[in-house]
Amino acid sequence: MDDVVIRVQNVTKLYKLYDKPSDRLKESLGLTRQKMYKEHYALHDLSFDIKKGECVGIIGTNGAGKSTILKIITGVLNPTGGEVIINGRISALLELGAGFNMEYTGVENVYLNGMMLGFSREEIDAKLDDILAFADIGEFVNQPVKTYSSGMFVRLAFAVAINIDPEILIVDEALSVGDVFFQAKCYNKFEEFKKLGKTILFVSHDLGSISKYCDRVVLLNKGTKLNEGTPKDMISIYKKLLVNQYDESNQDENNGIKTEEISNDDTGNVVEDVQAGAENDKLTIVQSDDKQWKNFYQINPNLDAYGNGAAEIIDFAVLDAEGNITSNIEKGTDFKILSKVRFHENISNPIFTYTFKDVHGTAITGTNTMYEKVNVDMAKSGEVYLASFTQNMNLQGGEYLLSISCTGYANGEFQVYNRLYDVINITVISEQNTVGYYDMFSKTKVEKVQ
């Protein structure tokens, strides 16, 4: 146990879910012997160790239990069963500003929050200048925090938590606060902690940060530990979980999922890949009893779908370099966008398209079969075509929206046969971003010449 600073041992957290408040009251007063609640296990028999100096990430889908285990580790929640053993002083970045008094000034809240974290007034005195410099909110530190903007509020809360000198730092999605410059400052502080050999427990949906900073990753699913290992391996499994493709019985020795070829019999006529030289590249896709690839995705509830109905996009998918259906693409790797279209009328020279937009709605990039000079002279009613776009992911890490469509021209007039605007979200995973939307992947060197 000498080098283990956090031990989570058989931890379970059970919640009782009541249909209505009166059921809870009846049970508490002993008015019924009938069980009036449903059991929900936020965590079930969870165990893992974190050693001194490690940076360990916890990832998992929504509802996996990530925030619950952090709250148990930090003492915010008590477990229903099992135990957590801590060997060191913790600073936790969970719900920023949760201990702030809105009537107090910023400086007063620094002392209040620091003492709530277990530090003495003398320790906070020694760190006060660093905290205020990091927050960088000027004279507002002497004003009640109720007058702060949301940005100033989280900057101060973050500055308090990260500039107190902890032995163990616990971070839950807190590195995304503030503007881009403040985020850069937060990540620099995070790297400083790593260099000092501090123990870090890091929970985030930002897979690029998980991959860059973590030595080891614990993957949770529905309150249990699904697996743990290197960031690369765990992120690979997590990507399959996101699209309901993970099957422990169907794993090969490399943690991949077995694939099968898409035959022309399944898909109709296949439009050749638009990337030059890729015509011999086999399209592979994860085995599934359900041939509808789009069912693996969470479709945008505000999807804008329209068209004149002459053609219909009946299925679509994004494949990573291993041929897995995914909504997460690693920057610098190859990927495919597939669009399967059924024609309800004879259409001359149909155009298959895709576009990536940022979260603000700005079109970032895209192409179509007309630009790429891949033509279908005549698609007949009842036929199904599969368009495949293969490319390397050069976009910066972040969130993007994918749109796909089938369009064309009839009698010189532009026609939209079927268009799905912002149909799914695509996350680009990056360990290193540059300026702007694209990375030019520069080969960079600096050498002394005199």
Give the model's pLDDT for residue 259.
Answer: 35
Segment among 51-55, 116-120, 285-289 with least mean pLDDT? 285-289
Residue 88 main-chain phi, psi, to 5 deg: 150, 165
Residue 140 main-chain phi, psi, to 5 deg: -65, -15
> What is the identity of the amino acid at 380?
K
Give the model's pLDDT for residue 288.
Answer: 43
Give the model's pLDDT for residue 177.
Answer: 58
pLDDT reading at 246 higher than 90: no
pLDDT reading at 258 higher than 50: no
pLDDT reading at 241 higher than 50: yes
**Domains of the chain listed by start with CATH number:** 4-242 (3.40.50.300), 258-429 (2.70.50.60)
The tokens for 11 are: 């931890």
Give the model's pLDDT for residue 204.
Answer: 82
The string of DSSP letters for 353-375 reads EEEEEETTS-EEEEEETTTTT--
Grouping H, G, I as helix, E, B as strand and the rest as coil, residue 37 is strand
Give the model's pLDDT for residue 180.
Answer: 61
310 with 415: CB under 8 angstroms? yes
pTM flag (> 0.85) = no
Query: How many CB atoms are located within 10 Å of the residue 164 CB?
Result: 22
Convert the pLDDT of each residue in 273-316 to its tens digit: 333 333 334 334 444 445 789 999 989 888 889 899 999 999 99
What mean pLDDT do residues 54-80 have? 91
Convert the pLDDT of each residue in 32-52 to its tens digit: 777 777 888 999 999 999 999
The string of DSSP letters for 408-448 reads EEETTEEEEEEEEEEEEEEEEE-S---SSSB----------
Q: Are strands 347-348 and 378-379 parallel, antiparallel or unpaired?
A: antiparallel
Segment among 110-124, 208-222, 322-336 with least mean pLDDT? 110-124
CA distance 286 to 390: 17
Q: With cut-offs at 50, 70 and 90, classify the pLDDT of residue 1.
A: low
132 contact partners, CB below 8 Å, separation of at least 6: 107, 110, 141, 159
**Who has greater pLDDT, 164 or 436?**
436
Would the CA dihedral through 369, 375, 378, 382 be positive or negative?
negative
SS3 breakdown of the chain: % helix, strand, coil, rounded to 5?
A: 25, 35, 40
> What is the identity of the amino acid at 73?
I
CA distance 257 to 237: 9
Grouping H, G, I as helix, E, B as strand and the rest as coil, residue 223 is coil
What mean pLDDT do residues 328-344 have? 95
Rounded mean pLDDT of the chain?
82
